[in-house]
Copies of this chain bind each other. A is one copy, B any other.
Amino acid sequence: MRAHAWERATEIPLLIAGFLFLFSYSWQVLADPSPEVYFAWELVAIVVWVFFGADYVVRLILARQRVRWFFRNILDFLVLVLPPLRPLRLVRLLVLVRVFRRNAPRLIRNRILAFASIATVLLVYIASLAVLEAERNVGAITTFGEALWWSLVTVTTVGYGDYTPVSFIGRAIAVGLMLGGVVLVGIIVGTLGSWIIQSVSEDNEEAIDETTDAVIALRDEVRQLRAALEDQGVDTEKRL
């Protein structure tokens, strides 16, 4: 079995596993379940983790140059063996980047927008859940709505300060959200901005590349020159 076939076959299961993972965490945080239900969801998370690990091992085995593959996918390895702290293990969803890459839109701009938007939505959602879990009993953030509002205010760097995390874990999540979010929002703003600029100026045809034009005209002249020489019996393709 080839690596490509495996990747194609595992796409749907990976997506389902990813959503299960997200869903188990969401349920544990949002529904405030009884210990039994909590434990059941914990089991789901562990099963998904084992599945991610098995997928990793299979891909390693199927790779042609295993050492090279290992180092080129070092991030996948690190994500798998991260200490299973609650918020940290959500980073495992990074394995879904592979599924995205195989199914992304063809057009570069749409591709980038799709990637950055999905990543931002996931980041904001996960940060909201994680900060709610960390701050619920110690800080001002006590509902999911407040956590989401705080995440959005933070990720756009507006930073009102009406809600701020106070625990160590909450602040660590906030720093991750700031760093990751600033990059992703920067990408979205830049891409949307260039799209608006282009769509506003769509009638404009002035930006012709003079150099390319001159070179193409030049090539035509040289071709005519060569054709003329050939007419005189010069074999212009003999050497070189």
Contact = CB atoms under 8 A, between A and B. Distances in A.
Nearest 5 pairs of A and B residues by beta carbon: A227-B239, A160-B161, A158-B159, A228-B236, A161-B161
Given A160-B159, A221-B222, A240 B215 contact: no
Interface string A211-240: 110111111111111111111101111111
A117 to B, nearest CB: 11
Interface string A53-71: 0000000000000000000
Interface of A: 101, 104, 108, 111-112, 115-116, 145, 149, 152-154, 156-162, 164, 168, 171, 174-175, 178-179, 182-183, 185-190, 192-193, 196-197, 200-204, 206-207, 209-212, 214-232, 234-240
Given A149-B171, A187-B197, A224-B240, 15 more contacts: A101-B203, A108-B207, A115-B196, A116-B196, A153-B174, A157-B159, A159-B161, A161-B161, A182-B185, A183-B188, A186-B189, A209-B211, A219-B221, A224-B226, A227-B240
